[in-house]
């Protein structure tokens, strides 16, 4: 059988890691725990994930890839992986065979992101309020992007352990009157309102549409990037209201995560959306909504919140997981 990730004599044994979202796949080479040769492709440019990995392997003939770890935005508890926000699906065991690997693991993308958090330096994150993170205390991370990912990290006797789950699909919990407007809009549209339908790219559009409908205005924008751009340039008051509400909902959701596990190690924001409006986020009601927890406001006030500014945190965490678990 032809092994697509193998090369000729003299090649250096290496592993690969992949960070797969609904829009992009990032790949990198790992040798002795060190990341290198990071490349990013559009998922839509490849029919299958195998095609994307084979393309990366072919571009690096100096390496003999013997192991791999894939972080992906969907449940990973079964052999057959079906992405939530993309059409790719594959069998883990068949993919390992097709690529000729001695070891392959597939983890949830937010397990990878959570594994990266203890490794981030001060210049790879931006603190938004709160006190000082407490060493070895639970950490939470969430990220609005194509979908809404959520992860938790706890310290055990064997080191950091990521808690897998699908926290982005919990119910959307309205806090203020405008939240109720958005909730009613989503309930009418879907029969159910989940957090992901608010805190994601399409969520931003749906907040925009809900506010427009409530105010009897015409909603002509359909792309989240357009809404964000007009809000930041102050060219559309409806877009400004939309982005303000988005930040408020992020704050409430982050505060709920903090309460769930007592995350005195911090709550982190990942994903590709919030990093596009850092100054707006810093000046928004995000932190005040984070702390608006009634009798437990003093409890969460001490918990720091951060925006991850390192673009390759998913790969960093995937490499950390691979290095910990692959014993080849």
Give pLDDT, residue 164.
75
Calculate what percentage of the chain has a pLDDT beyond 90. 84
Place of tokens 């751009």: 229
Identical fold, 12-109+313-325 and 121-309: no
195: annotated binding-site residue? no
CA distance 208 to 182: 9
Q: Which residues contact 47 (CB under 8 A, 6 or more apart)?
A: none
Residue 8 has pLDDT above 60, yes or no: no
Q: Burial level of 96, CB count in 10 A (0-12/13-18/19+)?
A: middle
CA distances from 265 to 14, 101, 187, 262, 308 (A): 33, 36, 35, 8, 14
9: annotated binding-site residue? no
Give pLDDT, residue 6.
65
CA distance 275 to 266: 18
Q: Which residue has the higher pLDDT, 163 or 222?
A: 222
7: annotated binding-site residue? no
pLDDT band at 158 (very low <50, low <70, confident <90, very high): confident
| Secondary-structure class of domain 121-309 per CATH | alpha beta
- Could you tell me how far CA 59 lies from the centroid of its own chain? 27
pLDDT in tens, 266-310: 999 998 899 999 999 999 999 999 999 999 999 999 999 999 999
19: annotated binding-site residue? yes
C-beta of residue 47 within 8 angstroms of C-beta of residue 61? no
> HEC states along 28-40?
EEEECCEEEEEEE
CA distances from 250 to 127, 142, 271 (A): 15, 9, 12
Give pLDDT, residue 92.
98
Alpha helices in the chain (DSSP H): 49-58, 92-99, 109-116, 177-190, 201-214, 224-232, 237-261, 278-282, 286-291, 297-301, 313-325
Residue 324 has pLDDT above 70, yes or no: yes
* Helix or strand holding residue 19 (H, E): strand 12-20
Give pLDDT, residue 128.
97
Lowest pLDDT segment from 2-11, 154-163, 282-291 = 2-11
pLDDT band at 2 (very low <50, low <70, confident <90, very high): very low
Residues forming beta bridges with residue 35, ordered by sequence position: 30
Q: Which residues contact 262 (CB under 8 A, 6 or more apart)?
A: 137, 138
Residue 1 has pLDDT above 50, yes or no: no
pLDDT in tens, 190-230: 999 999 999 999 999 999 999 999 999 999 999 999 999 99
Strands (E), 23-165: 24-31, 34-42, 63-72, 80-82, 89-91, 103-108, 125-127, 139-144, 148-156, 159-163
Give pLDDT, residue 295.
98
Architecture of the 12-109+313-325 domain = 2-Layer Sandwich (3.30)
CA distances from 147 to 68, 74, 272 (A): 25, 10, 10
The residue count of the chain comes to: 328
pLDDT in tens, 11-51: 899 999 999 988 899 999 999 989 999 999 999 999 999 99
- The widest CA-to-CA distance across the chain, in whole angstroms, is 69
DSSP type of residue 59: T
Place of tokens 């930040």: 247
pLDDT band at 231 (very low <50, low <70, confident <90, very high): very high
Residue 3 has pLDDT above 70, yes or no: no
Residues forming beta bridges with residue 39, ordered by sequence position: 27
Residue 119 has pLDDT above 90, yes or no: no
Which sequence spans correspond to the domains of the chain? 12-109+313-325, 121-309
């Amino acid at each position: 059988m032809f092994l697509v990730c193998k090369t000729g004599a003299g090649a250096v044994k290496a592993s690969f890691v992949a960070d797969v979202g609904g829009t992009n796949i990032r790949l990198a080479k790992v040798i002795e725990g060190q990341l290198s040769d990071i490349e990013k492709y559009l998922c839509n440019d490849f029919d299958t994930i195998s095609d994307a990995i084979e393309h990366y392997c072919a571009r690096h003939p100096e390496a003999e890839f013997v192991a791999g770890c894939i972080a992906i935005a969907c449940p990973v508890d079964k052999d057959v992986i079906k992405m939530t926000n993309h059409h790719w699906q594959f069998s883990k065991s068949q993919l390992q065979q097709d690529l000729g690997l001695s070891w392959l693991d597939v983890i949830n993308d937010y397990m990878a992101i959570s594994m990266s958090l203890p490794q981030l330096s001060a210049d790879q994150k931006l603190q938004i309020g709160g006190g000082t993170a407490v060493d070895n205390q639970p950490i939470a991370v969430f990220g609005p992007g194509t979908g809404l990912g959520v992860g938790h990290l706890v310290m055990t006797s064997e080191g950091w352990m990521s808690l897998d789950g699908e926290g982005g699909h919990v119910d959307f919990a309205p806090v203020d009157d405008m939240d109720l407007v958005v909730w009613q809009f989503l309930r009418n549209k879907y029969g159910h309102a989940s957090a992901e339908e608010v805190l994601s790219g399409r969520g931003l559009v749906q907040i925009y549409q809900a506010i427009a409908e409530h105010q009897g205005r015409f909603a002509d924008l359909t792309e989240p990037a357009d809404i964000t751009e007009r809000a930041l340039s102050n060219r559309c008051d409806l877009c400004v209201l939309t982005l303000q509400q988005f930040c408020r909902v992020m704050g409430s959701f982050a505060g709920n995560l903090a309460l769930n596990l007592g995350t005195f190690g911090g709550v982190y924001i990942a994903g590709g959306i919030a990093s596009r409006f850092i100054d707006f986020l810093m000046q928004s009601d995000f932190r005040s909504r984070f702390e608006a927890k009634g009798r437990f406001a003093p409890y969460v006030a001490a918990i720091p919140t951060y925006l991850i500014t390192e673009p390759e945190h998913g790969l960093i965490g995937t490499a950390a997981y691979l290095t910990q678990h692959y014993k080849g």
